[in-house]
Structure 1
Amino acid sequence: MAEPRGHLPEEVLALIFRHLPLRDRAAAARVCRTWAAAATCSTVWHDTKVSCDCEWEGMLPPYLSACLDHIHNLHLEFEPSKKQSRLVATKLLKALAGRAQGLRGLCLECLGEKPLFDSGSDILDSVHRVCRAAPVLHHLDLRHLPFTLDDTLVLQVARGCPELRSLFLDNYTLVGSVGPNSVLQLLAACPNLRVLGLHLASLSRAALEALAAPDRAPFSLLALRCACPQDARAPALPDEAWAALHRCHPGMVVELELEPALSADTVRHVLQPSVPVAILRLNLSGDTIGPVRFAAYHYAGNLRVIEVRAAASAELDAALENLAECCTDLREVHCFCVVRPTVLSAFRAHCPRLRSYTLKLTREPYPWRPTLVAR
C-alpha cells in the first residue's frame, strides 16, 4: 500500500473512523498502512455497533477478529428470521467470548420478526459464553431480544459479571421465566448494580429489601414491564417495602410499562400509589382513562414521562387535561391518538419543563414524530 502525501495524523484519522459503519472501516483499512493502523486502533473500536444483516457482506472476519480486543461496548443488531444474519451474530458473539476480558457493555437488538416457536437457543448460548468470559462487564441490555430469558442466564451473569452496573431483562416475550430467587442471587453477587429492568413477576419483597440495604451502591432506575400471565398473577408488593427503598435511594425512579394483555383488574392491582413511578407507558387494550387519572392523582410528584396508546375519546382528552394540571413537572408526553386542541394547550400552559410531546390534532401518516419544545 502506498502512503499518500500530506495525510492526516493517525489520531485524527482514528477520531474520524470511529464514526464510520463497520463496512467503511474495513474499506478504510485497505487504503494504506497509515489508514490501516488508524482503522484498527483502540480509539475506533471502543464503542462499536455492528449490523449483521447489512454490514457483514464483504467483510473479512480476520479483520474484525483482530479488533475484538479493543471493543469495550458492543451494540449488535441482527434479524433472527434471516439465517445468515443470525449465523453471523452467533459467530461474532462466540469470537467475542474468547476475547471479552475488557468488554464493558453489550446490547443485543433483534430486527424484524422472529420465527414461530423459536427459543433462540443459539443466541442465548452465545450470550452465556460472553458472560462467562467478561469479568468487568458493566452493562448488559437484552430488552430487544424476543426470546424467553430464564434463571440459568441470570445466574450465569451473577457468577461471571460481579462488576455489573445495569441489566435489562424486561424484554418483549410473553413468557416470564426469571424467578425472584435468581434475582436475589444476582443482587447479592453484584453489589454495584444501579439499574435493573425486570418483568413484574421477577420482583419480590425480598429483592426490594436487598436493594434498600444500607451498604448497597446508590440505585437509580427500576424498570418494570407487565405483559405476560406471570406478571398479571404477581402479588402486590407491600407499601412499606417501597417506602424503605425510596428512603434509602431518594433519587431512584421507577419505569412502569403496561401491555395490552392485562385485564382492568390486573391494572388496578399493579398501579400502587406507593411506587415512585417517574416513567409510565400505557399500551392497554382496555380502560386507559382510569390509569391516566390514577397517575394524575397519585404520581403527580414523581411523573416525568407518560406514553399513552389508546383510542381517541372526549373522556381521554379530559383525563389528559387533568394530568397536565396535576403533573406540572412533566418532561415528555406522548399520546398516540388524535387529541383536541385544549389538550395541547393544557400541557403547554401547565408544564413549563416540557421538552417534547406527541399530541396530534389531526391524523397523520405513521410513524408520528415528537415535537421538540424550544427553550
Structure 2
Amino acid sequence: MAEPGEQLPEEVLAVIFSYLSLRDRAAVARVCRAWAAAATCSTVWHHTDISCSSEGESMLPPYLLPGLDHIHNLRLEFEPSREPSRREATMLLIALAGRTCGLQGLHLQCRGEKPFFDAGRDVLDAVHAICRTARTLRHLNLRRLPFTLDDTLVLQVARGCPELRSLFLDNDTLVGSVRPGSVLQLLEACPRLCALGLHLASLSPTALEALAAPDRAPLERLALRCACRDDARAPPLPNAAWAVLRRRHPGLAVELELEPALSTESVERVLQPAMPVAELRLCLSGDTIGPVCFAALHYATTLRVLEVRATASTGLDAALEELAEHCAGLREVHCFCVVRPSVLQAFRAHCPRLRSYTLKLTREPHPWRPTFVK
C-alpha cells in the first residue's frame, strides 16, 4: 500500500477504477488531476457495466464523455417501465453512437416491470444508430429487451455490422416480427456469425441450408425460442436439414425453449431427432412427459441442461428417471414441481457431471433455489 503523500502509478489506479460503477468513476475523477487521468484512460472503459437509475444527465458528466471512445464491450441495464431510466439509457446509447467506432460488444438488459406494448421505440432507435456507426461490432445481445424486434433492425445490423459474431433476438415478446427473409439477408451479410438466437418463426429450412454452407464460419450456438402464436404456426424444420447442419458443424449446441403457446402437435413438429439439443426448457400447457421421453431417446449424447415447469405426476417422475439413465453428460436439471425421491437418486447415480439441480421432494415456498454439487 502507498505511503501517505505517495501516488500510485496510473496503470494501477486504472485497474482499480475499472471495477467502479459509472458514478464512482465520476467521483474519483474529481479528486485530483492524476486520478482524473486514470479514470478516463482506456483500461478503465474497455469492459463497462452501466446500470441506469433515474438521475438523468448527472449519470455521465461531460468530463467522462471521452471514456466512451474506449468502450469495447458494454453491458447496459435499465428499467423500461420507468421513463427516466429508459431516457437515461437512450441518451447514453446515442452518445456512444456519436463518439465511438471501436465498440465490439453490446448487451442490453431490462429489469423491473414490463412496459406497455408500444414502449421502447426510443431505445431501439438508439440501437439502430449504434449499428450504423459501430462497424466493428461483433456481439449484440437483445434477448433481455421486452420490445418487439423487427425486420428493420435485423436489416440494419446486416448492413452495418459485417464483423458480427453473435446476435441474440430470442426475447420475451408475444409478437414475432422478424421474417425469415431478413434472417437470410443477415446470414449472407455476416459470414462469420457463429452464435444466433431467434424465435422459431424467424428460422426457415432455407436458413438452415445457408448455415450449412461450406464457406461459413463454424456455427457454435443456435438458440430457438418458441413462445408466440407465430412460432406455433411456423412450418416444421425438416429432420434432414438438421442432420446436414449437424454434420457441417459437429460442435453445434442448440438451445430450445418451448412455452405454453405451443400445442402438443406443434411441439411434435418442432422436436426433431437430429437436432443437437444441449439445453431444453419446457414450460408447456399440454403434454410435458412426451418431450422428456423424446429427449431421453434422441438427445442422450448432447443434452447438458434440462428445465421443466409442469404439474407433478408419476408419469413425469418416470420420464425424468428414464432421462437420467440415458443422459450421462447432463450438468444441470431443474424441475419446478415436486418429484419422488427416486428421481433425485437417479440423477445423482447416473449423471456424474451434474453441477446443480432443483429437485424438491416436498413443497417449499418459492423461489426455489438450486442445489450445487460439490
TM-score norm. by structure 2 comes to 0.96
Q: Secondary structure at the match of 1:315?
A: helix
1:70-129 superposed Cα distances (whole Å, 9 cap, x missing partner): 111111111111111011111111111112300000011111123323242111111100
- Aligned partners of 1:102 and 1:142: how far apart in 2? 19
Matches within 5 A, 1:169-180: 169-180=169-180
Structure 1 residue 317: Cα displacement:
1.4
One-letter amino acid of the structure 1 residue matched with residue 273 of structure 2? P
- Relative to structure 2, which stretch is displaced further, 113-122 or 191-200? 113-122
Map of 1:155 onto structure 2: 155
Q: 1:63 to 1:114 in 2, by over 3 A?
A: farther
**Native 8 Å contact 1:81 1:115 kept in 2:** yes
Q: Secondary structure at the match of 2:25?
A: helix
Map of 2:91 onto structure 1: 91
- Aligned partners of 2:58 and 2:66: how far apart in 1? 16
Structure 1 residue 368: Cα displacement:
2.2
Structure 1 residue 350: Cα displacement:
0.2
Map of 1:200 onto structure 2: 200
Structure 1 residue 311: Cα displacement:
1.8
One-letter amino acid of the structure 1 residue matched with residue 344 of structure 2? L
| Structure 2 gaps, min length 5 | none
Q: 1:44 to 1:55 in 2, by over 3 A?
A: farther
**Native 8 Å contact 1:137 1:164 kept in 2:** yes
Q: 1:151 to 1:360 in 2, by over 3 A?
A: same
1:321-371 superposed Cα distances (whole Å, 9 cap, x missing partner): 111001111111111122222111110100011111111223333322222
Structure 1 residue 262: Cα displacement:
1.5
Q: 1:58 to 1:365 in 2, by over 3 A?
A: farther
Map of 1:250 onto structure 2: 250
- Relative to structure 2, which stretch is displaced further, 260-269 or 215-224? 260-269
Structure 1 residue 299: Cα displacement:
1.0
Q: Secondary structure at the match of 2:323?
A: helix
Structure 1 residue 205: Cα displacement:
1.2
Structure 1 residue 61: Cα displacement:
2.9
Structure 1 residue 5: Cα displacement:
1.3
Structure 1 residue 57: Cα displacement:
7.5
Structure 1 residue 4: Cα displacement:
6.3
One-letter amino acid of the structure 2 residue matched with residue 302 of structure 1? T
**Native 8 Å contact 2:78 2:110 kept in 1:** yes
- Aligned partners of 1:206 and 1:83: how far apart in 2? 41
- Aligned partners of 2:330 and 2:60: how far apart in 1? 49
Q: 1:363 to 1:26 in 2, by over 3 A?
A: farther
Matched, 1:73 2:73: yes
1:303-330 superposed Cα distances (whole Å, 9 cap, x missing partner): 1111111122222111111110011111
Map of 1:47 onto structure 2: 47
Q: 1:92 to 1:313 in 2, by over 3 A?
A: same
Matches within 5 A, 1:222-301: 222-301=222-301
**Native 8 Å contact 2:81 2:116 kept in 1:** no
What percent identity do the matched residue pairs reach? 75
- Relative to structure 2, which stretch is displaced further, 331-340 or 362-371? 362-371
Matched, 1:116 2:116: yes
Map of 1:356 onto structure 2: 356
- Aligned partners of 1:141 and 1:172: how far apart in 2? 13
Map of 2:329 onto structure 1: 329
**Native 8 Å contact 1:22 1:55 kept in 2:** no
Map of 2:341 onto structure 1: 341
**Native 8 Å contact 1:119 1:148 kept in 2:** no
Matched, 1:105 2:105: yes
Q: Secondary structure at the match of 1:272?
A: coil
**Native 8 Å contact 1:142 1:171 kept in 2:** yes
Q: Secondary structure at the match of 1:281?
A: strand
**Native 8 Å contact 2:179 2:201 kept in 1:** yes
Map of 2:311 onto structure 1: 311
| Structure 1 gaps, min length 5 | none
Structure 1 residue 55: Cα displacement:
7.5
Q: Secondary structure at the match of 2:107?
A: strand
**Native 8 Å contact 2:307 2:334 kept in 1:** yes
**Native 8 Å contact 1:198 1:223 kept in 2:** yes
- Aligned partners of 1:55 and 1:373: how far apart in 2? 42
- Aligned partners of 1:168 and 1:52: how far apart in 2? 22
TM-score norm. by structure 1 comes to 0.96
One-letter amino acid of the structure 2 residue matched with residue 24 of structure 1? D
